[in-house]
Amino acid sequence: MKTDLVDLGELLPNFMQEAEMMERIRCPYIVNFIGSVATADTLCLVTEFCPLGSLRKFMKTNSMSDLLKIRFCQDIARGMEYLHQNDILHRDLKTDNVLVYSKNPSDPITAKVTDFGTSRSFIESSNSIALQNIGTPVYMAPEITRKDQMTLKSDVYSFAICMLEIWLGRDPYDPMKFPDSESILRFVGAGKRLHVSDDCILKGIIEKAWKHKPSDRPTFKEIGTELEVIHKKTSDKSKSDSHNKNHSGSTKTNTKSKDISSSDQKSTTNTTNGTDENNDTSVSSQSIEKSN
């Protein structure tokens, strides 16, 4: 966090508050906070390093199985559930702010939520805070575009966009139809949503999570429960498909072996029959000779 053009005195109190908040966060699905550094011209938060980079960057260069997509969504939801349980709003949840920890869907952790530069404790009695230029337009909930009140459910909307992006493996908004941020904000503000194909196994959760009315959106705990069911079904199907494929390959191999065995047996039988015929001819010749 460079402060060349900003008065350090103005940033330091918020920076220290942010560092203190991150220090008390301990969750396997949130990037681990190591420490903070403040110098005359720089403020720096030190966190654990995830070599695979951001999820957004990862999706551009890697193919993802359905299981891996679901696992990414699960881990993000778990991290967000932890934040909300501790009355913390992220306020800028997006795939840029998710780090890939592993690309193996069988590993216990695949992704971690990060970048709390805009997050804050959610402790007001009204359970909402005023908006002041918070978030990234693509992921912003409609109540934010109206400069309305932001709630925990605003993060849920952002997660819906993340889920669709993860499923598609690309930006959810077509730049030909949405050339700028304003076009997206108008679209969302009018109560419209992107089309989700029926083959998307996350469709049901996505469409509930981006409901226009915040109170109609599920909590991250509820989302996590649904994702667990989807993960089990997908995992079971994957195992079944793999078993059937292996069984099919084994059956073909056995059939081929049987064909070869049958062919060998037939060849042996023909050879035996040929010998018997020769023996019969020999016996017959001997009889004729004896008769003479």
Residue 220 CB-density burial (10 A; 0-12 exposed, 13-18 middle, 19+ buried): buried
pLDDT of residue 116: 66
pLDDT of residue 117: 54
Q: What is the mean pLDDT of residues 222-230?
A: 99
Confidence of residue 149 (pLDDT cuts 50, 70, 90): confident
Best-predicted range by mean pLDDT (43-47, 113-117, 141-145, 152-156): 152-156
- In this structure, of 92-101, 142-151, 204-213, 226-235, the range with the lowest mean pLDDT score is 142-151
Q: DSSP string of the chain?
A: -B-TTS-HHHHHHHHHHHHHHHHT---TTBPPEEEEEE-SSBEEEEE---TT-BHHHHHHH----HHHHHHHHHHHHHHHHHHHHTTEE-S--SGGGEEE--S-TTSS--EEE---TT-EE---TTS-EE-SS-S-GGG--HHHHTT-EE-HHHHHHHHHHHHHHHHHTS-SS-TTT--SHHHHHHHHHTT------TT-TTHHHHHHHT-SSGGGSPPHHHHHHHHHHHHHHHHHHHHHHHHHHHHHHHHHHHHHHHHHHHHHHHHHHHHHHHHHHHHHHHHHHHHHHHH-
- In this structure, of 147-161, 204-218, 272-286, the range with the lowest mean pLDDT score is 272-286
Q: Which two tokens stand for residue 285?
A: 């010749």
Residue 224: closest CA among 204, 205, 200: 205
Asked whether residue 132 carries a pLDDT value surpassing 50, the answer given is no
pLDDT of residue 283: 37
pLDDT of residue 124: 42
pLDDT of residue 261: 52
The conformational region for residue 5 under phi > 0 = left, psi -120 to 50 = alpha, else beta, is alpha
Q: Is 115 annotated as a binding residue?
A: yes
Cα–Cα–Cα angle for 153, 156, 157, nearest 5°?
A: 95
Active site residue 4: no
**How does the average pLDDT of the chain come out, rounded?**
82
Asked whether residue 239 carries a pLDDT value surpassing 70, the answer given is yes
Residue 36 CB-density burial (10 A; 0-12 exposed, 13-18 middle, 19+ buried): middle
Q: What is the mean pLDDT of residues 185-192?
A: 95
pLDDT of residue 115: 84
List the domain boundaries for the chain: 1-49, 51-241
The answer to whether the beta carbons of residues 74 and 228 sit under 8 Å apart is yes
pTM for this model (two decimals): 0.78
User: Is the model more confident about 78 or about 243?
Assistant: 78
Instruction: Measure the CA–CA gap between 113 and 165, rounded to whole angstroms.
Output: 16
Instruction: Measure the CA–CA gap between 166 and 59, rounded to whole angstroms.
Output: 8
Asked whether residue 52 carries a pLDDT value surpassing 70, the answer given is yes
Active-site residue, selected from the candidate residues 66, 75, 92, 155 = 92
Percent of the chain at pLDDT exceeding 70: 75
Q: Is 97 annotated as a binding residue?
A: yes
pLDDT of residue 235: 94
- Alpha carbon of residue 39 to chain centroid: 38
Asked whether residue 32 carries a pLDDT value surpassing 80, the answer given is yes
Q: Which fold has domain 51-241?
A: Transferase(Phosphotransferase); domain 1 (1.10.510)
